Amino acid sequence: MLPSWVGDAAMATPTLRAIRRAMPGVFIGGLCRPGIDELLAGADVLDEFHVARAVGVMGPKFAAGKVRPRRYEAALLLTNSFSTALTVRIAGIPRRIGYDRDARGLLLTDRLQPPRRSDGEWATVPAVDYYWALAAKFLLPAGTARGPLELGVTPEQAGRGADILAKGGVTGGYALLNPGGNNPAKRWPPDRFAAVADWLASERGLGTVVNGSPGEAGLAREVAAACRVAKPVLLPELGITVGALKAVVRGATLMVTNDTGPRHIAAAFGVPLVSLFGPTDHRWTIIPTRSGGPEEVVLADPTLPEHEVANGHPERCRIDRISVERVKEAVRRVLTPGS
């Protein structure tokens, strides 16, 4: 059972690669939400994708019907929900491995307690470590080394990405900006993204490509409207898909991003990153072994004590506390070798 979010699925790739290598010749499938199959296509870590949404009363039964014909021997749940554990139980998979949380312990055959802090709250464990610990406990040989995040691009995805860039008139180097995010509190103000785009155009000679989901098209237009020098290309208006986005990200000179999934796509392809964090703790999504390019993590409040979690301080860690100048300095560092 694959993670539901793009960033989480990318952070699961070291675990998926290790399982693939540890079990040569074994048929490995993945049950996932739409879009995650596009993300992992081309990476050669799974033999088949079963695409379904286990939502609603009948959701788990419908999703179970997708995987039952394969008669899988074991299921590794890289998800935390009760519904996903119910899905693999209904599917009749005899061995069900997952974290014992969200009242699903009785549905699992192999359980691991998730790490907690001394106050009982969930520990701020990077998702990469969280997934790895579960597989290492029950499936991987002792001493298995963990690799980096990795993604692939299929020929079809590469062609689609090239078509979108051509349609947008992108011919030279470009910076990719991600002003969106699933939580509005995680979004750096659009006018500040615009200020960075103008600076990149005038000082670095870089074009700007603004990414976003279809629902974030308005946000992308806000960034473009606030630009005074840059002429951004807006991906939501050009039919971007998860698969094509990988190709676009892979070709970028730089990404400036909120705490959102495309950040991990860039990490997998070694694209230099400037990542902005407000009231979501950066430690949940630490990128361990890099594939190449550097990353600068810019925190709304870098003085927050280590024992505190940014999620618990929404005012102190407001993302608009990050200035444009701090982001420019971060960009300078990632684009200057040896800095």
pLDDT tens digits, residue range 7-24? 999 999 999 999 999 999
| Helical residues (DSSP H) of the chain, grouped into ranges | 6-11, 13-22, 36-40, 59-67, 82-90, 127-138, 155-167, 190-199, 217-226, 242-250, 262-268, 324-335
Last residue of a domain, one of 109, 138, 167: 138
Q: Chain-wide mean pLDDT for the chain?
A: 94
Q: What are the angstrom distances between the C-alpha of 215 and each of 86, 121, 211, 220?
A: 31, 33, 11, 10
76 and 186 within one domain: no
Domain for residue 144, yes or no?
A: no
323 and 179 within one domain: yes
Minimum mean pLDDT among 197-201, 210-214, 335-339: which range?
Answer: 335-339
187 and 131 within one domain: no
Helices and strands counted in the chain (H then E)? 12, 11
Coil, strand or helix at 305: coil
95 and 229 within one domain: no
Domain for residue 148, yes or no?
A: no
Return the DSSP state at 122.
Answer: B
Q: What are the angstrom distances between the C-alpha of 176 and each of 40, 150, 194?
A: 21, 19, 12
- Number of folded domains that form the chain: 2
How many Å apart are CA 301 and CA 325, to the nearest integer? 15
Question: What's the confidence (pLDDT) of residue 337?
Answer: 67
Band (pLDDT 50/70/90 cuts) for residue 339 is low
- Percent of the chain beyond pLDDT 90? 91
316 and 208 within one domain: yes
Q: Which residue has the tokens 């974030």?
A: 216
Domain for residue 133, yes or no?
A: yes
203 and 101 within one domain: no
171-201, pLDDT tens digit by residue?
A: 999 999 999 998 999 999 999 999 999 999 9
Domain for residue 151, yes or no?
A: no
Nearest to 258 by CA among 287, 282, 294: 282
327 and 234 within one domain: yes
What's the pTM value of the predicted model, to 2 decimals? Answer: 0.94
267-283, pLDDT tens digit by residue?
A: 999 999 999 999 999 99
Domain that holds residue 310: 157-335
Last residue of a domain, one of 94, 111, 138: 138
Given a cut of 80, is residue 338 above it in pLDDT?
A: no
How many Å apart are CA 223 and CA 148, to the nearest integer? 33
6-65, pLDDT tens digit by residue?
A: 999 999 999 999 999 999 999 999 999 999 999 999 999 999 999 998 677 788 999 999
Given a cut of 90, is residue 230 above it in pLDDT?
A: yes
CB atoms within 10 A of CB 214: 9
Coil, strand or helix at 239: coil
303 and 173 within one domain: yes
The strands making up 254-257's β-sheet, listed across from edge to edge, are 233-234, 207-210, 174-178, 254-257, 273-277, 295-299
182 and 331 within one domain: yes
Q: What CATH number should be reported for the domain holding residue 38?
A: 3.40.50.2000
Domain for residue 253, yes or no?
A: yes
How many Å apart are CA 320 and CA 318, to the nearest integer? 5
